[in-house]
Structure 1
Amino acid sequence: MSVLIVESNPELARLWQRHLERQGRKVVTARTQHEAINMLQSEHVSIIVLDVVLEEGSALAVADYASYRYPDVRVVFVSSSNFFSDGSIFNHSANACAYIPTSAPPDDLAALVDHYEVHL
């Protein structure tokens, strides 16, 4: 199964991708809502790492589409802002399973992916 990383910052996406690939995961990346939706139409993913603030498009639209297409797939939301730091992201996205800062160590992200991965 693969992990979909949706992150507008290509350097950060590559950092996470390389770390997850070293742990034996197949990882695909997208930078925008449009790219993420296209990936979800062609790839079976087991978990999504999704930045709350995308440069192009809406992260919540990606999460909603993922919930429709793959009802059991969980979303790990990441953000560099404090906008959802109160935990309200869980009220807006039924498939949200975690919310961490983009500054979290890649090992923490990998642990969350391991914990919440759904085997389709």
Structure 2
Amino acid sequence: MRGSPGVNVLIVESDAALAGLWSGHLERMRCAVDIASTSEEACDRIRERRYNVIVLDLDLHDGGALSVADWAELYEPAARVIFVTNTTFFSDGSIFQFFNNACAFLPSATDPADLAQMVNHYGAA
């Protein structure tokens, strides 16, 4: 299935293999994808470019995922954030109370094709 052209996506993920897997699915849907592996790199990318969707792993190795979410909300308020995690933290849905730009909360093991469809949906909106 083809995606919407012009959807700019930032993947913030410490696991390079997982980020690459997600990126490949998104690029096949004609999304423009950047990858950041640290919170500092993610904030730099948000400063440099506009994104429609940010896929943000809450389990970043440097522990700065919530800082990235705050930064995105302040400097890229139109971007929708899809949070992913392999833990049960925020599984009660409270993430949506803390971040106005949160649009989804998914397990890291979500099928990459399903994640790509969600990114395309929120990015085209």
Give 1:113's match in structure 2, choosing from 97, 101, 119.
119
Give 1:75's match in structure 2, choosing from 72, 81, 87.
81
Structure 2 distance, partners of 1:118, 1:95, is: 15
Contact 2:8 2:123 in 1 (8 A): no
Residues 17-96 of structure 1 correspond to what in structure 2 (within 5 A)? 17-96=23-102
Percent identity over the alignment is 47
Aligned-pair Cα RMSD in Å: 1.3
The structural deviation recorded for 1:57 is 3.8
Partner of residue 110, structure 2: 104
Structure 1 distance, partners of 2:42, 2:63, is: 10
Q: What is the identity, as a one-letter code, of the residue corresponding to 1:58? A: G
Residues 3-14 of structure 1 correspond to what in structure 2 (within 5 A)? 3-14=9-20
Contact 1:6 1:49 in 2 (8 A): yes
Structure 2 distance, partners of 1:71, 1:104, is: 25
5+ residue gaps, structure 1: none
Partner of residue 4, structure 2: none
Q: Could you tell which deviates more after superposition, 30-39 or 109-118?
A: 109-118
The structural deviation recorded for 1:108 is 1.1
- The structure 1 segments of at least 4 consecutive aligned residues displaced by more than 2 Å after TM superposition are none
Structure 1 distance, partners of 2:43, 2:87, is: 23
Q: What is the identity, as a one-letter code, of the residue corresponding to 1:51? A: D
Q: Could you tell which deviates more after superposition, 12-21 or 54-63?
A: 54-63
The structural deviation recorded for 1:88 is 1.2
